[in-house]
Structure 1
C-alpha cells in the first residue's frame, strides 16, 4: 500500500507544479486551489508512504515522478520542447526510480 501512496504523492506533486504554471498564467482562487490542493495531497501521501518505505528511497522516487511527470506534462500540454535528449534523461530518471524500488 505504501508504494501506491508514493505514486499518489508523485502525481500530487505533478498537479502542484501544474498549479504553479496555472497561477503564473492567471491568478484566481481556482488556480491557487489547484496549486495548494496538489501539494497538500502530495505531502500527505508522501508522509504515509514514508511510514514503511525508507526516507531516501521515498524522496528520490517522489521527486523522480514529479520531475518526469512535470516534464512530460510540459511537453504534451504546454508545447515545450520534445528534444530526444529530454526524453533520454526522463527515461534515466525513471530507470533510477525503478532501480531504487528493486533494491529496497
Structure 2
C-alpha cells in the first residue's frame, strides 16, 4: 500500500506545481486554495508512504514523479517546448524511480 500512497503523493505534487503555474497566470484566490490542497495532500500521502518505505527511496520517487509529471504537463497543457531530448531525460527520471522500486 505504501507504493500507492507514494504514487498519489507524486501526482498531488504534480498538481501543486501546475497550480503554481496557474497562480502566475490569473492570481485568483481559488488557484491558491487548490495549490495548498495539492501540496497538503502530497505531503500527507508522502508521510503515509514513509511509514513503510525508506526515506531516500520515498523522497526520490516522489520528486521524480513530480518533476517528470510537471515537465510533461508543461509540454501538454502549457505549450512548453517539446523535443526528443526532453522526453529522453523524463524517461530517465522515471526509469530511476522504477529502479528504486525494484531494489527497495
TM-score range for the pair, normalised by the shorter chain length:
over 0.9
Partner of 2:20: 20
> 1-side partners of 2:51 and 2:66: how far apart?
20
**1:11-60 residue CA offsets vs partner (Å, 9 max, x unmatched):** 01001001100100011121001111110000000000000000000000
How many residues get paired? 104
How far apart, CA to CA, are the structure 2 residues paired with 1:26 and 1:82? 24
- Superposed CA RMSD in Å reads 0.5
In the other structure, the counterpart of 2:76 is 76
Which residue in the other structure is 1:64 paired with?
Answer: 64
Paired with 2:92 and 2:17, the residues of 1 have a C-alpha distance of 21
Q: In the alignment, what sits opposite 2:101? A: 101
Runs of at least 5 residues in structure 1 that lack an aligned partner in the other structure: none
- CA offset at residue 66 of structure 1? 0.2
Structure 2 stretches lacking a partner, 5+ long: none
Aligned position for 2:50: 50
Runs of 4+, deviation exceeding 6 Å: none
Q: CA deviation at 1:83?
A: 1.1
Cα deviation, residue 3, structure 1:
0.4
Q: TM-score, normalised by structure 2?
A: 0.98
Q: Tell me, in whole angstroms, the C-alpha distance in 1 between the residues paired with 2:37 and 2:26.
A: 17
Alignment partner, residue 85 of structure 1: 85
